[in-house]
Amino acid sequence: MNRHPWQFAILIFCVAGFVYWGAARAFHHLNTPDVAYFNHLAAAFLRGELYLADPPSTHDLTLYAGKWYVPFPPLPALLMLPWIALFGLPTLNTTLFCILLGALNVTLVYLLLHTLAAHRQLQLTQSALVWLTVLFGVGSVHWYMATIGSVWFVAQVATVTFVALATWSAAANRSPWLTGIALALAMTARPNVLFTWPLLCGIAIGYLPHSSEAQNSRWRAGLLWAVRSAIPMVIALTLLLLYNYARFDDPLNFGYRTENVAATLAPKLQTYGQFNVHYLPKNVWAMWLAGPQWNEEINFWVPNPEGMSLLLTTPALIYLGRARARTPLAIGAWLSLILLMIPLLLYYNTGWWQFGYRFSLDFMLPVMVLLALATPPRMSWAMRLLIVAGVVVNAYGVYWWHR
């Protein structure tokens, strides 16, 4: 085990940032796209407004009372706000912003796994920790998503940042307040990550005494930790409802039902709503079964932009089947993974134009914990080869997306 995790974490941040920056630069995609939106929303907040006065595009915005609103919850705009307040809107590059958050995410995943291993909740060597970090950083869809400054990708990458902070906090300092605040902030970007909470509780309970004499006090302490960590999340949900009311005069209206979505998605949204079992088969297909599609123009297979199986983009996920639910950590991780998948499987689109299945970032932290639990102390060559295969696939995904 590395005795100097902070020095190694800084190295990981620098390497990941360079890889992400280099990928975007290689294809001349380091600019802020028109559909970034959160930068304009931050500027609107500074003017005391909740809408975009003159948006550069209206795709996926919501028109209400003659004004265009960003339907997505505001966390990325709040993160951008200090920079824009100091240096102005034109100086903020949302692609570089996303790259920095992406590099931080890779670093936090390493620190999380290292901390769990140092406290014997995982049995991993330093080499295995590095391999698992590589899997997340360049062997999953996080790679290409961290190189794009568009509103959808910035929101998801920023969400991962605070979910990772919450998970690492639960493992490192065990504070229910800091952990709850971090997850609450993640929820102000994507509220569905609330379901990461069982994983956080599982980590916290895993640190409590295991003796049979201490079982009752152990579960009481675990329940108290869970209640305390939930308080910031309740506050975050309340603030989101107030934000909705301020925008749309309805606390339950996030603006998605009247969003200016792509023409091919609008009929389904208007007919079946945002969540419906009607979407289940398509989402199962996109998440776990879909393969590439044949392109007649080039006479070759290309990624399906509506989604592609996670087992193709991150083939090492096949090892999830080896993670047994025998400890609070494993039980919490499995419960979070299942709960996080439910709303995604019922959602009205699969992520639309993408490489792989981009919504998987919502549950990648539980997945990383489960993969770590399934990994023997010395990672097998078979698992390493699958990780390498995932890196190759996602390198192609970066190329395909930007080209």
Give per-10-residue mean pLDDT for the chain (403 aa).
82 98 96 97 98 95 97 98 98 98 98 95 94 98 98 98 98 96 98 98 87 67 94 98 98 93 88 94 96 86 92 97 93 98 96 94 98 93 98 97 91
**C-beta of residue 311 within 8 angstroms of C-beta of residue 321:** no
Q: How far is CA 248 from CA 67, 224, 252, in A?
A: 11, 36, 9
47: helix, strand or coil: coil
Q: Residue 347's beta-bridge partner residues?
A: 275
Q: Report the candidate in 224, 235, 129, 107 with the shortest Cα–Cα distance to residue 176.
A: 224
pTM for this one? 0.96
Q: Is the dihedral of CA 337, 339, 344, 346 positive or negative?
A: positive
**Residue 354 has what DSSP assignment?**
-
- Report the distance separating Cα 109 and Cα 113, nearest Å: 6
List beta partners, residue 67: 64
360 pairs with which residues across the strands?
none
End-to-end CA separation in angstroms for the chain: 40
Of 83, 119, 87, 153, the residue nearest 1 (C-alpha): 119
Strand partners, 302: 293
Distance between CA 332 and CA 227 in Å, rounded?
15
Q: Residues with Cβ < 8 Å from 73, sequence gap 6 or more? A: 155, 187, 188, 189, 190, 191, 240, 243, 254
Dihedral through CA 115, CA 119, CA 123, CA 125, nearest 10? 50
Which backbone phi and psi does 305 adopt, to 5 degrees?
Answer: -70, -10
Kindly report the backbone phi and psi dihedral angles of residue 68, in degrees, each rounded to the nearest multiple of 5, phi listed first.
Answer: -95, 130
Contact 336, 198 (CB under 8 A): yes
Encode burial over 75-105: b for 16+ CB neighbours within 10 A, e otherwise: bbbbbbbebbeeeebeebbbbbbbbbbbbbb
pLDDT of residue 21: 98
Residue 152, φ and ψ in degrees, nearest 5: -65, -45
CA atoms of 245 and 61, how far apart (whole Å): 17
Residue 325 φ/ψ region, left for φ over 0, alpha for ψ in the -120 to 50 degree band, beta for the rest: beta
Phi, psi of 347 (to 5 degrees): -80, 155
